[in-house]
Amino acid sequence: MDIQDLEKRLLNDFQRDLPLEPRPFLAMAERLGVTEDEVLSALGDLRDTGAISRVGAVIRPNSVGASTLAAMAVPPQDLERVAALVSAHAAVNHNYEREHRLNLWFVVTAPDADGVAAVLDDISERTGLAVLDLPMLEGYHLDLGFALQWT
């Protein structure tokens, strides 16, 4: 994937502090010295190539709706298929592989706890694998933004 300069700036400069205003992409464009259409086009290209899945706010868990961390033990030969199925679920905002018996982890959000449970049940039914629900007991703030390095 060849990432152009504008795309690099969008990925790096807006990990935090996305403008909270009626036209955030226009504000981003002004800050970068480009047009709003260029920003929208670059974000569309990033989405189309799979570099990003969405642009939006990250809300503190369980402050609006409900969420949980979940994990699955997926046979290695089945990991890509199961990860794709999990990722395709609208209630899953990201998933990742870990080097552990529980090798597929993901976050589920829904309007309420019953909705979260229904999503976990659906994923278990579709995959034929157990889903371990790991609800948050105590919250910590982790800044997941980091300076990107381009080679």
Instruction: Please write the tens of the pLDDT for every residue from 19-72.
Output: 889 999 999 999 999 999 999 999 999 999 888 888 877 777 777 789 999 999
Q: Which CATH architecture has domain 66-134?
A: 2-Layer Sandwich (3.30)
Instruction: Find the helix or strand (DSSP H, E) in which 104 lies.
Output: strand 104-110
Token pair for 18: 């996305």
DSSP-derived 3-state class of residue 128: coil
Query: How many CA atoms lie within 13 Å of 121's alpha carbon, on the beta-carbon side?
Result: 6
- What digits encode the pLDDT tens for the residues 80-125? 999 999 999 999 988 999 999 999 999 999 999 999 999 999 999 9
Domain boundaries defined on the chain: 5-49, 66-134
Residue 143 has pLDDT above 80, yes or no: no
Query: What is the spatial distance between Cα 92 and Cα 96, in angstroms, rounded to a whole number?
Result: 11
Q: Tell me the DSSP string of 37-99.
A: HHHHHHHHHHHHHTS-S-----PPTTSSSEEEEEEE---GGGHHHHHHHHHHSTTEEEEEE-S
